[in-house]
Amino acid sequence: MPRRHSRFRSSLLLLALSAALLHPGCKPAKIESAPIAAETNRHHAGQLDWSAWQRWVQTPPQVALVGQIDADTQERIATQTRLFQAVISGNPDTASPALSRARLDGLRETLLASSTRTGNSPVPNVERWDRYANAARRMQPSDIATTITALESFVRRDRQDLTPQRDATGAIGSQARSDLEWIDKNIVPLIATLKAAQSPATDAPLSAEQARRQWQDFEKNELPKIAKAIKARTVDTAVLTATGAYELDGEGRIVAIVTVAGRELYFPADPAPDGLRFSGR
């Protein structure tokens, strides 16, 4: 990964960007198979289009394959994305727009499609999937808080029920492991995305100076934690070719590592932020 710069430039990213902008589902089947084996040699070939960010990103991003990203890191990444996009949008007074109906529909479709078995992907049992699917179908841009509350309640209850079963042998242990993996892979990121979108509706609008201070605090206290977590879980990395192509081998989530004003920022491919377009994964 590109070399990190010293911390004395902690405000450079927001200041530089601000200055530039001020001027010109089918249901799953019940599973009674042997425990799911992790894929260890999966090949990922794709392309990343970052042309929409060329004004702020002068060097091609790297792409990394990262193992399981914990919930705290996912929430930090969501905050990082919200702050970054608020600045480059030219509207630091509005931290981020609430989820549009089209974006919410996309999140819903992704969740519903996650019940389909592909390769060794985890699949929850029917009853559990029904609860999450119904909550996703009821998601509305005007009432994201209700969906968050429901999903978090389901996750707490399922972790309490499934964790003691995951070490069991046979079908019970296999299904418990599959359910927990599916929750971590699909529900936890969805909750983080919804929370990031909800915050503008509950917080007072930010002034440009408030947004700058938020980034300075975030860069000092939270961005290093993201970097540490991503580095610890990186399986493989690739530099984009001239056409934006990349190839990676291993199991994990694809993450773009973007350098802006000497700072590395981290953007998972799913869900990809506005301005980055992944294809062919």
- Give the domain ranges of the chain: 1-95+204-281, 98-202
Which of 17-26, 108-117, 137-146 has maximum average pLDDT? 137-146
Sheet holding 43-49, edge to edge: 245-249, 43-49, 277-279
Sheet holding 234-239, edge to edge: 234-239, 62-66, 253-260, 263-268
The pLDDT confidence band at residue 78, using thresholds 50, 70 and 90, is: confident
**pLDDT tens-place string over residues 20-59:** 333 334 444 343 333 333 334 588 888 898 888 888 887 8
More confident residue, 269 or 14: 269
At residue 266, the pLDDT reads 95
The pLDDT confidence band at residue 139, using thresholds 50, 70 and 90, is: confident
At residue 239, the pLDDT reads 86
pLDDT of 90 > 60? The answer is no
More confident residue, 28 or 157: 157
Q: CA 143, CA 110: separation in Å to the nearest integer?
A: 19
**pLDDT tens-place string over residues 233-270:** 999 999 888 888 999 988 888 999 999 888 899 999 88
Least confident among 43-57, 88-102, 107-121: 88-102
Nearest-Å Rg of the Cα atoms of the chain is 20
pLDDT of 6 > 50? The answer is no
pLDDT of 213 > 80? The answer is no
At residue 241, the pLDDT reads 86
